[in-house]
Each structure stands twice: as C-alpha cells, then as structure tokens.
Amino acid sequence: MIIKKLTLCNFGVYAGENTFIFKGKKPIVLVGGMNGRGKTTFLEAVLLALYGSSSFAYSESKQKSYTQYLRSFVNRSESNKTCSIELEFDINNEVKENYIVKREWNTITKITKEKISVYKDSSYNEFLTNNWPMFVENILPSALSSFFFFDGEKIAELAVDNTNVQLKNSIRSMLGISVLDVLSNDIMRNLKKTNKEAEDNKNSEGVQALREEKEKAIEVLASIDAKIEELSRKLVEGSDKLERLHQLYTAKGGDAIDRRHETVKKRASFMADLSGKESRLYELTANKLPLLLVKDLIRDIKLQATDEHSDMLMKQVAVQLDGLYEQFEAEYTGEAKASLKFINYVKEQVNSDQSETIYELSDQALFQINNLVESSMNNVANEARNILESKKNLEKQIRELDSYLSLDINDKDLQEIHKQIKVTEQDIIDYRVKMLELDRQRSAANSKVMTITAEFSKYVESYLSTAELRDSSDRTIKYSNMALNIIENYKVELQKRKTDILADTITDCYKKLANKKNLIRKIVMNSETLDIQYLSEDGKEVPKDSLSAGEKQLMVISILWALAICSRKKLPVIIDTPLSRLDSLHRKSLITIYFPNAGEQTIILSTDSEIDARYYKLMKENIGDEFTLNYDETTKSTTIESGYLIGAKI
C-alpha cells in the first residue's frame, strides 16, 4: 500500500483546500513544521479517512461522541463550514489497484452527518462505499494500525508497561491462533453430546461438571477484567461503544444482508430494462436500420431525383413564358423582339441543361426520400448507438450486482455481534451500579479460578489413569479431554514459538538501532502473558526503569518495527515527532537504519529541532518527497509548500 495523495479541506488548521501529493520513488517522505502547525492533524486525517469511528485516535481523544470528534476538526476561520478529507492510495497485489476514500461533513446544522464515498480505479464503487469498514479491515486491521501509524511522544511508556492491554491484544491479533479455539469448541460440543449418552457414569459427569464450573469461573474473571480495562482506559460512554458495535456490524456485512432483497429487485429491474432495449433494437433492425448499409446509394437517388424535379419545373416555366409573351406583345406598343430573343435564350438554356430522367419521382416520393436521408436514417443510427451504449451499461451494472449477491458473509459473526449489541445496551444501564464492586469481585473470582483449576487438573489426571476399560462413551470422553488438554498445551507451545520469533525479531531490530549494544543482549517474551523482559550479557534482567526516556522510545520503536515485519503486511509507516526523546547517537541510528527500512513508504512528521540540517543531509539520499507546513498568524491557518522547512537554511 502506497499513499499517493491526501487532500484536506477546512480540516483543523488547514483552511481551504490543501493537498499533499506523493510522487517520489524513494521510501522517505519528510513533512516539516513547528509545533501546532498541523503535523499531528496529518496523522489523524489519515486514520480518520481509513477507519472513521474505529480510529484509535478517536478512541484516545477526549470527545464524548464521534459527532463531536468530527465537529472539532472543522476550521473556524473559514465561512464555509463544510469539512472533508480525501485519501488516495495504491495497492499492488500482482495487479495494481487505485482507491480513493473521501469523508465530508459540516457544522451548518446542529446534527452533523458524515458522508463517505469510495472510488476504485477512478470509478465510484457503491459496494465499497457501503462496506468500507469491512474492506479496510482486510487491508490493515484496526488492531494492527498502531504498529504503522504512531506518535513518537506517546509510545515510550509502552516499554515499561506490562499491563498495556492494547499492545498485547494487537500482538495476539497478529499471532492468529484462533483456529485452535474453534477446534476446542467443536470438541466441547461433541463432549457434551457424549455426556448426555452416559448419564449414569458418575466419573464422566464429574469431569464435565468440574470443566463447566472452571469455564464458568474463567468467563466470570474475563468479564470482570474486561470491565476493569474499560474503566482504566476511560473509554467513551456506553452510547459510543454501541455506535462502534453498529460500525462492526456494518463492517462484517450486516447492511449487505439487509440490502440483499433490494439488490435482487434492482437486478430484476435492470434485466427488464435490458430486455426492453433488446426488443427496441430488434424493431429498428426490422424497419429502417438496415437501410444504413445502402445510405450512400439512397443519397445518390435523392440527388438525382432533386435534379429531375428542378428540370421539370424549368420546363413548366418555359411553357408559361410563351403565354406571357403573347399577352405582353398584345399590350405592349414598343419594340418586343428583344424580349422574344431573351425568352428563346432561356428555352435554349433549359433544354441544354436537362439531365437524363431516371426515377421520375412524384413530389410526395421526393419529400419522403429527402426526409429519409436528412432525418430518419440519422435518427435511427443515433437511437441504435444509444441503445447499444445503454445495453452495455446495464450489463455492467448487472455483473456488479451479481458480484455483490455472491458475497460470502459470516452469519455466525453477525449473530454474535448482534448479541453483543443487546448486551451492551443492558450494560449501559448497569454500568454505574457495578463499578464499586469490580475490585472485590475480581479478587474472589481469581481465587475461585485457581482453586477449581487445581481441583479439575487433579480430578482429570485420576480419571484418565482408570479409564482404559470403560465403554465407548467413556473412551470418547477420555480422548476428548485428552485432546482438549493437548490443544491447550499446543496453543501455549505454538504461541511460544511465535512469540520467540517475535522476540528474536525485536532483539535484531533493537541491536541495529541501540547505541549501548552491551546493555541489552536479548529480549524475551512470556508466551502466556506476553510480558517483555530485557536480558543483559550475563543473562540477568535489566530493570525497565533503568532505561532512559530515549532508550524507552528506541525500545518501543524496535517492538513496533518487529511487529510490522512479522505481520508481513506491505504498508506505509507514519511517525509523528519521532526523535523528541533521543540523543544524537540514537537519532542517527533511526535516521540511517530505521527510516529507510520501516516500510515501503515512511512518512515522517518532524520539527526543525528533530530533523535539522545535519540529519537532513544524512537522510537526503532516501527522501522522495518534502513538504513544509507554514502557519499564518493572521488567518490562523496552515498552508503546504514543497521542500523541507523553507527558510531553515538547510
């Protein structure tokens, strides 16, 4: 994915229309500006264009609703209260595809409504417009977006925070081991079915009862942890959570199902129109359309008949002249011979100009053939061309609707999302009542999980050791429980293997960037908790608090770089204020090693104190595009100029 253009209209400090056009062939794009000039606004604009209300920039903002978030960006200095962002990018997966997504809204009315339009290869695409959240999740899941678009000033704390749920959830999303959960659920369903067939087996009932009790305890603990996380991160109010679930419902294709009947009706209407066009084309073919094949011959007939008609009129005129001359001679007293000579001259000219008579068409026939050549045939040709063009468009629209109707949508996911919507509506009512009880409930729930897990493990071990001689139901229960235990162990081992690869990649990235190469020899990750530890040369843990602010930031950049590498997604990287906490040596490492290799396209939003003249020269050979954000105190707005920080003597 390569960003080609970003257009901001009355967005934040960008008054009027301002466009970033990226044409460079080198990986780095450098956008320079002082604080408050619109660098962070650039990053938020890209996130908003792609994700809308699912953008992590919105979830981390202080706005109480998505509507307030949109209104906060409308430039106040412009009389035009309409605001828009338009992002154009290319995706090259064997075949290059171009996409443009545009969002626009205004503050003219009290109700702010966002309009989204999506274009694919320069053509408006109704399906993508209606299902953009689902499409963009396939390109870059929102859970992974913070790996590629981040603020350098806000990430240093992640290096010392083992409880950062956002980072851990993103890592789990990247590891992708959900297929094992599906397998476990299938075995559980089979196990419950088998247990119904062996109701008189007390031992199997005991295993299942303990398992259900354990799972129930784990679910209760997970539910409480989720609520504590919501409180700790101060998520937006319940109504915003409900809004996001509706967005997710749309992203999974819910609206596409709702509109399926309407799409079928529209296709039937198009088919009826197509049939009508074809019928009319047959009518034209059976009437005047074939005459276009001999159009030149008919035109020649028309010209010959017109000449014959003119000759006939001249003959009639000559006959009339004889009668008029006799009347003139009788009444005129002067010399009339000259007039007679003139009349004879006219007759001679008429006789000499006469062409051979071929068709002898009547006036009506001549009128009809003239109308055929001048009007009817052209009208028939134009109508036939219009019908063929309309027929082509209708066939294209029918093919597009057929592709929409063939869309594979996961009904199970939609049902689960719908269920979550209902649960969330109830949670909004119960929210304040349960807040004070959460800490006490978690302590009790955690103790219960630990107790029932130990009891369950001991019971299963005893049960498996004596299950060899039981009937087929008992064997099924035995091997099902064995399979579940194996899956649990395999899940841990698989996650360990992937986390080891991720940890090794983080170590490699850090060693490429770090100045104190002997301080941290290896970075390891706990396969179950996903906590990160830093080990020294002698294998001892390096306290995270001992890292400087710059080293913390460098460590997190190494983590994000490694996550981007392991995700195997070829996506642009946008970094806002990347060097604020780094010393000169660490800055040089980032500039010469990380920036050129962070992604296919690396957009850096920097001040002149971060990327100064010296660092600019180090980066120059890898820079494809440069921009400067200039702020006008009079208009309170920012404009874009080519070149990096014009006037900074670089």
Query: Are 615 and 18 in contact, with CB atoms under 8 Å apart?
Result: no
pLDDT at 358: 66
The residue with tokens 């109480």 is: 64
Among the listed residues 603, 590, 596, 599, the one whose alpha carbon sits nearest the alpha carbon of residue 569? 599
Query: Are 595 and 619 in contact, with CB atoms under 8 Å apart?
Result: yes
Please, what sign has the CA dihedral across residues 269, 272, 274, 276?
Answer: negative
pLDDT at 124: 93
With residue 16 as reference, give the H or E element that holds it. Answer: strand 14-21
pLDDT at 75: 83
CA gyration radius for the chain?
40
Tens digit of each residue's pLDDT (9 = 90 or more) over 181-219: 667 778 888 777 776 655 544 466 777 788 888 888 888
d(CA 540, CA 521): 10
d(CA 123, CA 396): 13
Question: Of the spans 193-197, 282-286, 365-369, 468-472, which averages the highest pLDDT?
Answer: 282-286
Among the listed residues 561, 531, 613, 590, the one whose alpha carbon sits nearest the alpha carbon of residue 147? 561
Tens digit of each residue's pLDDT (9 = 90 or more) over 386-421: 888 988 898 888 887 777 666 555 667 767 777 877
pLDDT at 88: 94
Among the listed residues 149, 21, 33, the one whose alpha carbon sits nearest the alpha carbon of residue 86? 21
For the residues of 19-70, what is the DSSP string, one character each?
Answer: EEE---SSSEEEEE--TTSSHHHHHHHHHHHHHGGG-HHHHTSS-SSHHHHH
Residue 178 has pLDDT above 70, yes or no: no
Residue 628 three-state SS: strand
Query: Tell me, what amino acid is at 147?
Result: F
pLDDT at 249: 67
Stretch 297-310: mean pLDDT: 69
Stretch 479-492: mean pLDDT: 80
632: β partners: 637
Q: 99: pLDDT confidence band, cut at 50, 70 and 90?
A: very high
Residue 167 has pLDDT above 60, yes or no: yes
Q: 5: pLDDT confidence band, cut at 50, 70 and 90?
A: very high
Residue 36 has pLDDT above 80, yes or no: yes
Give pTM, 2 decimals.
0.52
Among the listed residues 589, 622, 596, the one whose alpha carbon sits nearest the alpha carbon of residue 512? 589
- Residue 189 in tokens: 């369903």
Top-confidence residue, 187 or 296: 187
pLDDT at 197: 53
Residue 303 has pLDDT above 80, yes or no: no
> Can you list the domains of the chain with their CATH numbers?
1-140+574-649 (3.40.50.300), 167-201+471-568 (3.40.50), 202-253+411-470 (1.10.287), 274-406 (no CATH)
Q: Return the number of other C-beta atoms located less than 10 Å from residue 172's C-beta.
A: 14
Query: Are 574 and 603 in contact, with CB atoms under 8 Å apart?
Result: yes
d(CA 307, CA 370): 13
32: β partners: 606, 628
Question: Of the spans 124-138, 203-217, 537-551, which averages the highest pLDDT?
Answer: 124-138
Residue 26: phi and psi, rounded to 5, are -95, 160
Tens digit of each residue's pLDDT (9 = 90 or more) over 50-83: 998 888 788 878 888 888 888 888 887 766 778 9
pLDDT at 231: 65
pLDDT at 647: 43
- Residue 12 in tokens: 């934040």
d(CA 331, CA 188): 128
Tens digit of each residue's pLDDT (9 = 90 or more) over 325-357: 666 666 666 665 666 666 666 666 656 655 566
Question: Of the spans 281-285, 432-436, 582-586, which averages the highest pLDDT?
Answer: 281-285
Residue 23 has pLDDT above 80, yes or no: yes
pLDDT at 513: 81
Q: Give the range among 9-18, 363-372, 639-648 with minimum mean pLDDT.
A: 363-372
Query: Are 116 and 86 in contact, with CB atoms under 8 Å apart?
Result: no
Q: 20: pLDDT confidence band, cut at 50, 70 and 90?
A: very high
pLDDT at 7: 94
Query: Are 502 and 523 in contact, with CB atoms under 8 Å apart?
Result: no
Residue 648 has pLDDT above 60, yes or no: no
Query: Tell me, what amino acid is at 644?
Result: Y
Query: Tell me, what amino acid is at 401?
Result: L
Q: Give the range among 485-494, 498-507, 577-586, 615-624 with minimum mean pLDDT.
A: 577-586
pLDDT > 90: what percent of the chain?
A: 9
Residue 96 three-state SS: strand
Please, what sign has the CA dihedral across residues 61, 64, 65, 69?
Answer: negative
Stretch 369-375: mean pLDDT: 71
- Element counts in the chain: helices (H) and strands (E): 23, 14
Q: 635: pLDDT confidence band, cut at 50, 70 and 90?
A: confident
Q: 440: pLDDT confidence band, cut at 50, 70 and 90?
A: confident
Q: For the chain, how far is it from start to end, CA to CA, in angstroms? A: 31
Q: 163: pLDDT confidence band, cut at 50, 70 and 90?
A: very low
pLDDT at 482: 83
Stretch 300-320: mean pLDDT: 67
pLDDT at 162: 46
Please, what's the b/e burial string for 595-619 (b: 16 or more CB within 10 A of its CB; e: otherwise)?
bbebbebbbbbbbbebbbeebbeeb
Stretch 609-631: mean pLDDT: 88
pLDDT at 633: 83
Stretch 91-120: mean pLDDT: 87
Q: Output the average pLDDT for the chain.
A: 77
Residue 583 has pLDDT above 50, yes or no: yes
d(CA 562, CA 547): 20
Among the listed residues 87, 189, 66, the one whose alpha carbon sits nearest the alpha carbon of residue 132? 87
3: alpha, beta or left? (left if phi > 0; alpha if psi -120 to 50): beta
d(CA 477, CA 459): 14
Q: Give the range among 242-246, 523-527, 534-538, 572-576 with minimum mean pLDDT.
A: 242-246
Distant-in-sequence contacts of 375-379, Cβ < 8 A, 24+ apart: 376/288, 377/288, 377/291, 377/292, 377/295, 377/298
Q: 469: pLDDT confidence band, cut at 50, 70 and 90?
A: very low
- Residue 568 in tokens: 């195997």
d(CA 343, CA 322): 8
Q: Give the range among 156-165, 211-220, 563-572 with minimum mean pLDDT.
A: 156-165
Q: Give the range among 11-15, 456-460, 545-549 with minimum mean pLDDT.
A: 545-549
Query: Are 31 and 6 in contact, with CB atoms under 8 Å apart?
Result: no
d(CA 317, CA 103): 77
d(CA 351, CA 332): 28
